[in-house]
Structure 1
């Protein structure tokens, strides 16, 4: 499963299969990334390197300051991160922006899963269309076959 990092929480659906070499495994058909809720899980998530500009030390400071509201602060009030020693306003805003970019990619992956488009292609599509990906696809799904190598007309019209 691409785009999964240590510290992330997932909701998965699929079926159990038996692999000849590795035994029983869950064959994941759909997955959804869930934002962590506990302070411990939030700190692990932030420390994972998923959000540019936040490593283990910064994650610890953010969670110490904002507790279980840390992700809400990063998402809705990133300027408040500048209240933490070692984070200036520029870095605070960049952290907020990086967090929103991850949310945008996650939303696109979930949206495109319904149409059988893999997370790998979803990332390519997001890279091409940016934060307005879902709106652009809804307006004109044929752009996928025109602009994304490997997406056929049939897939774009599904």
Structure 2
């Protein structure tokens, strides 16, 4: 089994029910993106992924890396963070605001959103309402992301994971780890 690490450049296909995904992964030591396939819940453009798997030749689409296990990491470089924010993962932030925010905070953007949201007022056009929406969207995305990765191994769908998140709030993962039987 080989290991690849890089950031998601493009989602070619993603099934919300089964989580089967075809994506393009750009590795730091590659010039062209690599096609990866597999069951990848909660994956977004701009996120960094470390995956283990094997190379397969698809009869129509050529060489692809078939992911067996993976670990998602938050984007760490400014370019990946901008792609992630511009991808629509967080409602209310499109390419223009993503560029402005990342231009101001660089690779610290996600830390600013999470830990120092008042600094976002320094971004032109980002008012109090949009800032609070961005922070709420980020916290929900992060909680859902962590929950999906945890629940994936148990065959839980994204829709059900959202219900769990709504029922238990941002501490859903900790509550489930403490007492998984409460879902029954």
Check conservation: 1:82, 1:88, Cα contact below 8 A.
Answer: yes
TM-score, normalised to structure 1, is 0.75
TM-score, normalised to structure 2, is 0.66
Distance 2:66 2:53 in 1: 5
Unaligned runs of 5+ in 2: 1-39
Query: What is the SS of the residue equivalent to 1:142?
Result: helix
Deviations 1:28-82 (A, max 9, x none): 2332222222222211111111112211000111011112211111111112111
Unaligned runs of 5+ in 1: 147-158
Query: What is the SS of the residue equivalent to 1:85?
Result: coil
* Corresponding position: 1:106 with 2:145: yes
Q: What is the alpha-carbon root mean square deviation over aligned residues?
A: 2.4
Structure 1 residues 140, 2: CA separation in 2 closer, same or farther (over 3 Å shift)?
closer
Structure with a larger share of its residues in helix: 1
**Count of residues in correspondence between the two structures:** 144
**Pair member with larger Rg:** 1
Structure 1 residues 15, 125: CA separation in 2 closer, same or farther (over 3 Å shift)?
farther
**Which has the higher mean CA deviation after the structures are superposed, 41-50 or 123-132?**
123-132
